[in-house]
Structure 1
């Protein structure tokens, strides 16, 4: 059966080649390229399990979940024990398809194996599936990175096709929050000249607003997603007297907390903006402490989050919700004083804080 399946897959691969370049195209490629193609085909035919695993990962990353499942099951048929990560990827595919019963079976199998690479991710999904959300303290980085990659691909395609960016990017909420922040800056007579750190900058909406409304001297963006940073780093605006100017002076692919640690002694900011970032972690203390370490005296910090009676992970929203009191307490304990609160649609909350000069000197 396995030999027949290998022959069938080799035949399908040949058909895909012909469909792609045509018979004439294959003939005119030249002898050397033809030999190379045959060698590649032979290599793939000899190691079909690995080839299908690679294709499954490719399909999964590009959100072609059912194609990924088909490839993964093919690998499991060929080599049921050689690739223990198959159980993880199948569990994750079914998890993202809301097929939780099947997902749990494969994730449990994965945790019983000795693979160990995706234990945190598997435990996170099982906690969601079994309703043990109280055990969740952070969204795994791999989830954030893959989500960012997919959103970046959606953004790039829509912009290329001349379409609207879409609700996934929460641009309307971001603009509303920014305009409230801008109003506060006017009230304290600091409407311009800020050194801005955009925490979890995504596709760069905050950076564009900072430049459009001229509140920033410099804008630095930090995000865990390479795809998002690639978009943000490529943004530019025309500024009178300066021509085309990059929105971000720096845009770094980096964990925000790593950035806090590595750059706190090198650069300080007097404006920190974290719109829709807090939803990734329950550790508010870590966040506000990191912000304190990289903030100038009397700096402004603006954050948005989904408000709830208690701070916990929401499987429906796929992010953390927080009580206002928890946010205030964590901020206060790390030298931030709440100066503004604004409630918006869908329980979104904007809070603006100021860094105490006295606290900053004593910390």
Structure 2
């Protein structure tokens, strides 16, 4: 590993998904039942073939089976489940196959539109397949012909779920067990992006034809007040405008409203699909150029280029009668229309810090 210096900071650490944690703990508990041996670490194989060793917090027998737990390590990703105890309780069954159950802190699906049927525990397909593959291999190793009942839980998961989109998606009672590769990539925000896609899918499956993708609470409140949309139609996209637009290219709805703060919308207008400050910045000279195209004089352009913030540039433009908010929304609309199908009616709204509309285009 290269040395850490101010110019070359240490690389960000990868972590493991809740699906990997569930796989490791269910395998350890099942092994205790079949081999009579408790372990403090277990090796699993991830979907792309990597072998990883995962440490356990406990592995012990219970009255009706066995249980094992591990502390979720998300690496350097700001994951809501980082540090949470993920556990599996396993019981043997005469009926072959693997059956999954939601334990404490794991949610249950209550709405159509997700990858799982209504009534199923919120354990996604890839983690289910990972667990099934490992348990089938274990059964073959020990000549076991019965099945497994696997209950997955997350300590404190019901409270943690309130920090996610699960309640809005109709996943009640706790978190989802997630993961497609088994690995959490730092700042990939893959779980958040997946929840955006799920939010759109749930809305479509429940007959909603008009969705509003919003950057935060203020823009959600503005859309709710303006259109009277139900919560299911409000998609909390945060900084991930591209996640919304690209998903609608594959799974379109009839109408999309996008709403965000003026600064965020100005980034989208400039062609950025990730609106976080790590990945995009506000281009004040570009705002001045658009203002010039709308008739702004040289003095206003210079003042806008020298502004400290996009809000200051907006205030300067509006004071001179230049509709900068509308201009930014129009450019953002062009970016969106280049991505979504022509069948989707798209409109853009920009708000100020008080949640008031300062721009619109359709």
Higher relative helix content:
1
Which bin holds the TM-score, normalised by the shorter protein?
under 0.3
Task: Compute the TM-score of the two structures, normalised by the length of structure 1.
Answer: 0.27
| Higher relative contact order (CA closer than 8 Å, sequence separation 6+) | 2
**TM norm structure 2:** 0.27
